[in-house]
Amino acid sequence: MRGYYVVDFTLPHGCEDAVGSADPRNDQCHRRGARGLTRRGVELRLIVGSESSSGAKVDTVLMKTIARAHQWFNLLVSGEVKSLAEVAAREGVHYRFVGKIIRPAFLAPEILEAIAEGRQPAELTTEHLTKHLQPPFDWDDQRQLLGFSPA
């Protein structure tokens, strides 16, 4: 993870069990440590603790993109359409857009499962996956490129 910063948290009295330690001088709790600051598309996300310990948050935009990718892939496989251009015409979008959006249809099942459970790396967004990467077809290479541990 890139961009580590030191962050001070000051919490109300009585938080000793939650985080940090009590300061008897001002009845406050303090927590100091390196935390990650990660960009997710246009938003900036502060990772407090390890990502695996934080509550899983399903990226609904990414899930919708994956569903659309599988839908379009199934149209091609079934023979209902014969090309990305036909998918594009049917959907009213440019064929290059279809070519980018269809990429997640080829992701490893473990990656799809992690995304569905909200366990993907913070950097893995629809924009990152469809505009900045061309995931390889090999699932082990995908895991490495996208920041997942080996199977």
* pLDDT, tens digit, 9 for 90 and up, residues 76-86: 999 999 999 99
pLDDT score of 74 more than 50: yes
Higher pLDDT, 109 or 122: 109
* pLDDT, tens digit, 9 for 90 and up, residues 20-69: 444 445 544 444 444 455 555 555 555 555 444 445 688 999 999 999 99
Q: Which residues pair with 6 in a beta bridge?
A: 34
pLDDT score of 7 more than 50: no
Residue 147, token pair as written in the block: 């920041």
CA pair distance 104, 111, nearest whole angstrom? 10
Residue 23's closest CA among 7, 8, 5? 8
The two counts, helices (H) then strands (E), for the chain are 6, 4
